[in-house]
């Protein structure tokens, strides 16, 4: 009876935090601790008549590997699964991205990678490695309404404040709010984009890691007074377990093994055509590792090995491979501008069983356009392009870039509309052509130089676009 009472008392104390005057926000971690977070990432346009909506299910596994005098070593695996089609997806569905990163977490709650660089949250795009479950905080105790600034290399300072306590998931958490913004957010400029990031974090009172996270990032295009796009990240702590002995060792070995494979793959994926033999050898090593661990004995980190193997196989086939661990998060997109040359690239066809290269379209101007085939606006766009292609048949090429994960729908639409031009998978080229929102139009001349760009759809767009095509034809 006494034991039972003690156990219940401990459980209640772990689930509550007294509304005391001060808190020490240093993370309380230990080797073998695994945190699992799950939630969503949503990105949308705020511009009228511009369609852009991306959604991912996000999951982050954090495994503490060891503890030192000043920090802890931890592996963070972030998994993103696209939900753009609006359907509910199971965790078994193939992920759009898996990134396993080895980090060091210091007593201030800051994370650094293997090169000792701070791992920052990207201002644009979904987080390939999610680190927002920690609050960068001072080592001294802080009280309600206490605030502090955190410097970040090459970026404005973050301002954090203790908002008090609030119940979250049945636990009385410490509520922390943070804000960071570009220097020109308060004063719009015509020559550059601006952004603002706002974080709300409910800290678990014993571990000082997030019980819940909400992060809103707004971006504003040049020469605009109001935000033009917004992304929202929300996730909660699904489980926190400390694995002892063999269970922890299995996870640790899997993490270290996959991290080693990633290190070997990184230089090969930069120029896969020059390293086909080495890529083939690495695929065999990863396959051997996976075969030795049946699915019934697998750890959660097996998905990182499976994803790496798929990436290597894609590179081996000559398809474009994305580096598995970029040097730094993308803060501002670098899209092709007017007057710049488009380098050759390869794309998969959605309506033809072959890849398409830019050089296949040389000799004539090219109209490149990105659209969402599932929306009424996207269907209006494709009808206009069909009319344009039939009217000016053969005078210029058309590269129709569908922004969709439903290939069957695209093929059916292509057949029903009797389109004379193929539909390509535009997802991989969105950043290069600045297609963060749809529709997006780009006119490229016969020398592969960008001559016109436009995002959105209005009465002026067809006039401007056809005028740009006409100028290219007169060259």
Domain boundary, last residue among 194, 217, 242: 242
Q: What is the pLDDT of residues 426-435, one digit of tens each?
A: 887 887 898 8
In the chain, helix, strand, coil percent, each to 5?
25, 35, 40
How many DSSP H helices and E strands does the chain contain? 7, 20
Q: How confident is the model at residue 85 (pLDDT cuts 50, 70, 90)?
A: low
Separation of alpha carbons 146 and 156, rounded Å: 20
Give the DSSP H/E element, type plus range, for residue 192: none
Q: What is the CATH number of the domain that holds 238?
A: 2.30.230
Separation of alpha carbons 367 and 464, rounded Å: 12
Give the DSSP H/E element, type plus range, for residue 376: helix 376-391
- In the predicted model, what is the mean pLDDT of the chain? 85
Give the DSSP H/E element, type plus range, for residue 43: strand 33-45
Mean pLDDT, residues 194-221: 95
Residue 23 lies in a domain: yes
Q: What is the pLDDT of residues 362-378, one digit of tens each?
A: 889 999 999 999 888 88
- Which pLDDT score, from 0 to 100, does residue 455 have? 87
Q: What is the pLDDT of residues 387-427, one digit of tens each?
A: 999 998 889 999 999 988 788 999 999 999 999 999 998 88
Residue partners of 359: CB distance under 8 A and separation at least 6? 344
Range of weakest confidence among 40-44, 87-91, 116-120: 87-91
- Which pLDDT score, from 0 to 100, does residue 51 have? 66
**How many angstroms from the chain centroid is the CA of residue 341?**
27
Instruction: Tally the domains of the chain.
Output: 3
- Examine the domain organization and report whether 235 and 271 are in the same domain: no
Separation of alpha carbons 282 and 276, rounded Å: 10
Higher pLDDT, 236 or 4: 236
Residue partners of 72: CB distance under 8 A and separation at least 6? 27, 29, 31, 64, 65, 66, 104, 105
Check whether 470 has a pLDDT greater than 80.
Answer: yes
Strands 366-371 and 355-357: unpaired
Mean pLDDT, residues 94-120: 89
Q: Are 70 and 116 in contact (CB under 8 A)?
A: no
Instruction: Please give the share of the chain, as a percent, with pLDDT higher than 70.
Output: 88
Residue 113 lies in a domain: yes
What is the extent of the structural domain holding 186? 18-242
Q: What is the CATH number of the domain that holds 373?
A: 3.40.30.10
- Examine the domain organization and report whether 249 and 238 are in the same domain: no
- Examine the domain organization and report whether 288 and 415 are in the same domain: no
DSSP 272: G
Residue 12 lies in a domain: no
Would you state the structure tokens that stand for residue 229, as one six-digit string? 């796009």
Mean pLDDT, residues 333-342: 79
Check whether 108 has a pLDDT greater than 50.
Answer: yes
Separation of alpha carbons 333 and 204, rounded Å: 35
Decide: helix, strand or coil at residue 72: strand
Nearest to 344 by CA among 454, 412, 429, 439: 429
- Examine the domain organization and report whether 294 and 351 are in the same domain: no
Domain boundary, last residue among 218, 242, 266: 242
- Examine the domain organization and report whether 125 and 218 are in the same domain: yes
Domain boundary, last residue among 206, 221, 242: 242
């Amino acid at each position: 009876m006494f034991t039972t009472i003690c156990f219940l008392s401990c459980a209640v104390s772990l689930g509550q935090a007294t509304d005391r005057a001060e808190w020490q926000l240093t993370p309380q971690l230990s080797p073998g601790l695994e945190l699992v977070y799950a939630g969503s990432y949503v990105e949308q346009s705020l511009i009228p008549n511009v369609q852009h909506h991306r959604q991912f299910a996000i999951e982050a596994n954090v495994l503490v590997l060891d503890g030192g005098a000043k920090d802890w070593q931890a592996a963070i695996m972030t998994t993103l699964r696209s939900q753009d089609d609006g359907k509910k997806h199971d965790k078994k569905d193939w992920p759009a991205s898996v990134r396993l990163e080895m980090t060091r977490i210091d007593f201030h709650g800051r994370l650094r990678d293997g090169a000792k660089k701070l791992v920052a949250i990207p201002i644009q795009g979904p987080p390939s490695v999610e680190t927002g479950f920690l609050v960068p905080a001072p080592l001294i105790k802080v009280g309600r309404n206490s605030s502090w600034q955190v410097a970040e290399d090459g970026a404005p300072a973050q301002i954090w404040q203790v908002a008090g306590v609030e119940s979250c998931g049945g636990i009385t958490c410490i509520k922390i709010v943070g804000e960071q913004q570009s220097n020109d957010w308060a004063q719009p400029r015509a020559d550059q984009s601006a952004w603002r990031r706002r974080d709300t974090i409910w800290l678990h009172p014993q571990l000082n890691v997030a019980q819940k996270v909400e992060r809103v990032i707004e971006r504003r295009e040049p020469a605009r007074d109001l935000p033009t796009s917004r992304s929202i990240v929300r996730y909660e702590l699904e489980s926190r377990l400390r694995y002892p002995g063999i269970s922890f060792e299995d996870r640790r070995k899997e993490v270290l093994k996959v991290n080693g494979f990633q290190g070997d793959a990184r230089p090969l994926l930069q120029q896969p055509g020059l390293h086909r033999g080495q890529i083939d050898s690495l695929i065999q090593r990863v396959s051997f590792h996976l075969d030795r661990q049946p699915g019934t004995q697998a750890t959660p980190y097996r998905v990182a090995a499976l994803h790496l193997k798929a990436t290597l196989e894609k590179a081996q086939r000559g398809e474009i491979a994305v580096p598995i661990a970029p040097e730094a998060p993308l803060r501002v997109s670098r899209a092709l501008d007017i007057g710049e040359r488009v380098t050759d690239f390869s794309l998969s066809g959605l309506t033809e069983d072959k890849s398409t290269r830019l050089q296949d379209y040389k000799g004539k101007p090219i109209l490149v356009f990105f659209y969402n085939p599932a929306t009424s606006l996207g269907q209006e766009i494709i009808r206009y392009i069909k009319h344009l292609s039939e009217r000016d048949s053969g005078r210029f090429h058309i590269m129709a870039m569908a922004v969709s994960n439903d290939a069957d729908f695209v093929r059916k639409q292509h057949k029903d509309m009797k389109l004379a031009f193929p539909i390509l998978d535009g997802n991989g080229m969105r950043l290069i052509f600045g297609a963060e929102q749809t529709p997006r139009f780009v006119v490229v001349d016969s020398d592969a130089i960008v001559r016109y760009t436009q995002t959105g759809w209005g009465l002026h767009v067809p006039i401007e676009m056809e005028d740009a095509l006409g100028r290219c034809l007169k060259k």
